[in-house]
Amino acid sequence: KITSENLAATIIREVVKIFWLRLKVQEPVIQYRWIQNNTLVDKTLMEVANLDDKDEVVNSYVDLCFFPLIGRDIDSNNRKIYTLAKVITKQHQI
């Protein structure tokens, strides 16, 4: 149990370093975005983790985003994506 607690503290420290320190000092400034639940899957922005056949993505919706989309100028037409969001999908929107 103590080992797990120590590991959890290490993981939390590393996440804080990545998202609040390292990404803020990059030039140009890097943005990250968590994909909202019930968003229609867009394969240009997301990587689906729970489907064997990636063609099943049509009409799938985000159930859970477990890693954010990372890039530059995410909202513009000339965006640059560095890492796709990692999502778990569902077939029907709720």
Model confidence pLDDT, tens digit, residues 10-68: 887 787 777 766 666 667 778 889 999 999 999 999 999 887 665 567 788 999 999 99
63-92 mean pLDDT:
90
For residue 88, what pLDDT is reported?
A: 92
Q: What is the pTM of this model?
A: 0.69
Structural contact between residues 51 and 77, judged by C-beta atoms closer than 8 angstroms: no
- The whole domain housing 81 covers 2-90
For residue 57, what pLDDT is reported?
A: 73
Question: Predicted confidence band at 94 (pLDDT cuts at 50, 70, 90)?
Answer: low
Strand partners, 83: 70
24-51 b/e (C-beta count within 10 Å ≥ 16 → b): eeeeeebbbeebeeebebeeebbebeee
The answer to whether residue 1 scores a pLDDT higher than 90 is: no
- Domain tally, the chain: 1
For residue 54, what pLDDT is reported?
A: 58
